[in-house]
Amino acid sequence: MNIRIVNFVVTKKINMRKKWFLASLAIILINTPIQAQQDTIYAWDLESCIEYALRENIQIKRSRIAFEESREDTKTAEAALFPDLSFSTSQSYSNQPWIDGNTGDRNTYSGSYGLNTSWTVYNGGRRLQTIDQQKIQDRIALFNIAQTENTIEEAIAQAYIQILYAYESVMTIENTVEVSLAQVERARQLFEIGILARSDVAQLEAQYSNDKYSLISAQTALRSYKLQLKQLLELQGEEDIEVVIPEIDDSEILIPLPSKTDVYAAALALRPEIQGSLLSVESSHMSIGIARSAYMPTISLSAGLGTGHNTTSDFSFTNQIKNRWNESIGVTLSLPIFNNRQTKSAVNKAKLAYEDSKLSYLNEQKNLYSTVENLWLDATAAQERFVAALEKLNSSKISYELVSEQFDVGLRNTVELLIEMNNVLSAQQEVLQAKYSAVLNIQLLRFYQGENIEL
């Protein structure tokens, strides 16, 4: 964006008609792109915004925590392949006030100690399938992180470009306000010498007030977009965020667009929501095998070491512990016969979940194609609107110049002049809207092809 600022040097030799014409012509010649203060300490460019958000955004941090939780579940599933080991002890105290019909106190204290282990040798392959399924869940969690990052990156790009549009819109309207003020002052002078009626002056004053109101609305919109960007960046504090205004040539706006088919093919292979949905289909298919494993027998081994002591014994504590030492080992076979249809229902539900996951995958593909198609159509329409808006702006400028000259010699009235001024302002706004709509959609198309969003 090249900034062209028209400075008017008015000397005493310039007559009043020429001064009026030059002041009014400012709104025609000024192209409103603005170059940001590059030496501002707190200025953010788009790349810095994206990098900062990828580190600090709360949604992204939460998705990373979800991935760590999934990894812990995988470690738990892998640990189930190994036997467990536990130590147990029991201590008891008893009192018998009656012994063989006689009163007396006999207190007894006893204890037992055991070391036990168990190991599931076979359970229909459920543990191995669970591990494989959980590893897929880890990969899905990684894709969820990437999907969240993409969502935040797109939101930041949209907010940033909205700021650029609002910034230029503010500057356009500020120039319009200056021209309106110059027109009011000129009209008052013409009224004093009897050339204009008081009603003409009032109309120009009303236009000036309306332009100031439009400026306030544009400034409010700019502050709102900046607030959105701050929230995406998780920035705190009362200070306003400043952004770098990049230079964007018309050639970047009118760049040839890739075909929808090419963008969709690239997005289908790269987008994390597609890859994650495909893995969900695979995970759901594994759930069927896990459910079917309940039909298979379970074989487990167990072993234990134990001892104990009792105060009623005549042997010492050490001798009791030694003499009561025991070892045990066992094999358990569990064969399911009838379990109230629980396994069959679990298998059927797993099959239904598998079919549902395939539909979800197809739906993700459709949503992706719809998104790509809308971006392509919006980019194409924005480019066409941009060309048309430039032509409209050019013709509006020419028309305004002619009406302004005729107004100075009394051939046009104030209403006609205001209409032409508003036409120029409207055309400038249409140029800005088409321009930044094209920029946003072109960048998003590139992003869906796997390229970085850059301005």
Please state, in angstroms and rounded to a whole number, the distance separating the CA atoms of residues 126 and 289. 8
Query: What tens digit of pLDDT does each residue of 180-211 get?
Result: 888 788 778 777 877 777 887 788 888 888 88
Please state, in angstroms and rounded to a whole number, the distance separating the CA atoms of residues 447 and 379. 13
CB proximity list for 138: less than 8 A, separation 6 or greater: 67, 70, 71, 74
Helix axes 414-448, 342-408, angle to 10 degrees: 150
pTM for this structure?
0.78
Listing DSSP states for 123-180 in one string gives: STTHHHHHHHHHHHHHHHHHHHHHHHHHHHHHHHHHHHHHHHHHHHHHHHHHHHHHHH
> What are the Cα distances from residue 67, in Å, to 70, 76, 152, 278, 381?
5, 14, 18, 18, 40
- Residue 110 in this model has a pLDDT that exceeds 90: no
The reply to whether 3 falls in a domain is no
Average pLDDT (367-381) is 94
- Residue 164 in this model has a pLDDT that exceeds 60: yes
Please state, in angstroms and rounded to a whole number, the distance separating the CA atoms of residues 171 and 1. 14
Q: Which of 35-39, 184-188, 244-248, 261-265 has the lowest mean pLDDT?
A: 35-39
Question: Mean pLDDT, the chain, as a whole number?
Answer: 83
Which phi and psi angles does 330 have, rounded to 5°? Answer: -155, 160
Please state, in angstroms and rounded to a whole number, the distance separating the CA atoms of residues 151 and 435. 23
Position 104 scores a pLDDT of: 53
The reply to whether 453 falls in a domain is no
Position 333 scores a pLDDT of: 93
Please state, in angstroms and rounded to a whole number, the distance separating the CA atoms of residues 287 and 302. 29
3-class DSSP assignment, residue 109: strand
Please state, in angstroms and rounded to a whole number, the distance separating the CA atoms of residues 342 and 162. 56
Closest C-alpha among 74, 126, 134 to residue 290:
126
Q: How far is C-alpha 314 from the chain's CA centre? A: 76
Please state, in angstroms and rounded to a whole number, the distance separating the CA atoms of residues 202 and 193. 16
Q: Which amino acid is at 47?
A: E
The tokens for 365 are 């593909």
Name residue 98's beta-bridge partners: 103
CATH number, position 54 = 1.20.1600.10
3-class DSSP assignment, residue 300: strand
The reply to whether 159 falls in a domain is yes
The tokens for 418 are 């205001």
The reply to whether 389 falls in a domain is yes
Residue with tokens 């667009």: 257
The reply to whether 44 falls in a domain is yes
Radius of gyration over every alpha carbon of the chain, rounded to an integer in angstroms: 40
Query: What tens digit of pLDDT does each residue of 381-422 get?
Result: 999 999 999 999 888 888 888 887 777 666 777 777 788 888
The reply to whether 90 falls in a domain is yes
Please state, in angstroms and rounded to a whole number, the distance separating the CA atoms of residues 277 and 48. 31
Q: How many residues can be counted in the chain? A: 455
3-class DSSP assignment, residue 298: strand
Classify residue 157 as left (phi > 0), alpha (psi -120 to 50) or beta: alpha
SS3 content of the chain, % helix, strand, coil (to 5): 65, 15, 20
Q: Which domain holds residue 302?
A: 16-448
Q: What percentage of the chain reaches a pLDDT higher than 90?
A: 47
The reply to whether 2 falls in a domain is no
The reply to whether 9 falls in a domain is no
- Residue 141 in this model has a pLDDT that exceeds 80: yes
Please state, in angstroms and rounded to a whole number, the distance separating the CA atoms of residues 429 and 423. 10
Closest C-alpha among 345, 344, 434, 349 to residue 393:
434
- Residue 128 in this model has a pLDDT that exceeds 80: yes
- Residue 22 in this model has a pLDDT that exceeds 50: no
Round to the nearest angstrom and report the end-to-end CA distance of the chain: 12
Q: What is the dihedral of CA 390, 425, 411, 204, to 10 degrees?
A: -170
Count how many domains the chain has: 1
Please state, in angstroms and rounded to a whole number, the distance separating the CA atoms of residues 9 and 331. 104
Q: What confidence category does residue 176 fall into, taking pLDDT thresholds of 50, 70 and 90? A: confident
